Amino acid sequence: MKEGIFYVLGFDIGGTKIAICLGTSDGKIIASTRVGNKDKDPNVVLPNLVKKGNELLSDNNLTTKDIKAIGIAAPAPHDVKKGIILNPANMPLWRNVKIKEYLENNFNIPVFFENDANAGALAEWFFGAGDNVQNMIYLTMSTGIGGGIICNGELVQGTSFDAGEIGHTVIDIDGPECQCGLKGCYEAFCGGRALALRLQNELKNEPENAIVKAAGSVDKIDMIALEKAVRDKDEYALKVWDNMILRNAQAIGGLVNIFNPDVIVLGTLPWATGDLFMKPFMEYLPRFCWEKSIEKVKITVSVLGRSIGEYAGVCVALNGLLASKNKKGEL
């Protein structure tokens, strides 16, 4: 390996599986493995993570001495500072799990912990669409809307590590209720889960509707069914899509004016649908922020796409080391 380049290990924690990835500081994923986590007890999963992590190292002729740090990308809610996974909805047996401490005790190297949306932002910043910029905003738009903000060359964490929760910005005081308890959040308008539930409710007596037909049945309506009906130019679906894009432009336009970023990276839905999203989005954007800031910002879909999970934990490790040095060039 080239001089100055080093290895890190990343753990990307999900409700169905946990990805363990061996990566390098110059952005190569050397090898990866998975540990199943669907309805699993952390008392079983944690030792398995250590076992599989060590196997990954030995399969590549490495030991923990060759690894500079470990990064964990974890779902909310969590205690980022202490590295504790509290009680994520899709991991029913994980309650107050001190995963950072556990991996530290078992690997004896520095372990860094970060929220998974922030980890996605770090992945795009280090090795994706935000490489070489100082100001970047990342949004992942799937079932919910998660975000991460890089400002002046640092991840913005906030006083209690809750910064970057862009999906829970209220954009309409009369808007729909959000699962977070607020009313009119950006996520309540544009999150995949919220939008699907709204359509299922609105179309429950409309079996002939194009979105219902694309889904197969009303209870199966999702963003894929909506996209299909939009591509088939169904009038109702086009209206829903157009309104969703307008709300995205409103929320993201606010970010453009607040942060004046170099790059905004849009993952998941815009990444999957391309121009169908991006074209009308760019047309609506000038209604919500200054032209001079739009001229400066590059708005793009995710570069890492589906492989972002492989980079997430690895980049949490790299950013942990970077933050302790506080300068990207000195890693």
Beta carbon nearer to Zn ion, 182 or 294: 182
Please state the closest distance from residue 139 (CB atom) to Zn ion, in A. 15
Residue whose C-alpha is closest to residue 310's, from 128, 84, 159, 54: 128
Applying CB under 5 A, among 22, 168, 253, 264 the residue interacting with Zn ion is 168
Please state the closest distance from residue 185 (CB atom) to Zn ion, in A. 3
The footprint of Zn ion on residues 169-228 (CB under 5 A) is 178, 180, 182, 185
Please state the closest distance from residue 234 (CB atom) to Zn ion, in A. 29
3-class DSSP assignment, residue 254? helix
Under rule CB under 5 A, residue 247 binds Zn ion: no
Q: Which two tokens stand for residue 312?
A: 């997430």
Q: What is the distance of C-alpha 293 from the center of its chain?
A: 24
Strands 263-268 and 136-141 turn out to be parallel
Beta carbon nearer to Zn ion, 126 or 189: 189
Strands 298-301 and 263-268 turn out to be parallel
Beta carbon nearer to Zn ion, 185 or 299: 185
| DSSP letter assigned to residue 170 | B
Under rule CB under 5 A, residue 100 binds Zn ion: no
Under rule CB under 5 A, residue 1 binds Zn ion: no
Q: Which stretch binds Zn ion (CB under 5 A): 7-15, 113-121, 164-172, 220-228?
A: 164-172
Under rule CB under 5 A, residue 50 binds Zn ion: no
Which residues are paired to 20 by β-bridges?
Answer: 11, 33
Please state the closest distance from residue 17 (CB atom) to Zn ion, in A. 27
Beta carbon nearer to Zn ion, 93 or 182: 182
Provide the residue count of the chain: 331
Long-range contacts of 80-88 (CB under 8 A, 24+ apart): 80/113, 80/114, 80/115, 80/157, 80/161, 81/161, 83/111, 83/113, 85/13, 85/42, 88/15
Beta carbon nearer to Zn ion, 187 or 227: 187
Please state the closest distance from residue 187 (CB atom) to Zn ion, in A. 5
Please state the closest distance from residue 184 (CB atom) to Zn ion, in A. 8
Q: How many residues at the interface with Zn ion, by CB under 5 A?
A: 5
Beta carbon nearer to Zn ion, 10 or 144: 144
DSSP code string of 120-143: HHHHHHHHSTTTT-S-EEEEEESS
Residue whose C-alpha is closest to residue 268's, from 309, 240, 317, 235: 309
Beta carbon nearer to Zn ion, 78 or 168: 168
Please state the closest distance from residue 192 (CB atom) to Zn ion, in A. 14
Catalog residues that contact Zn ion under the rule CB under 5 A: 168, 178, 180, 182, 185
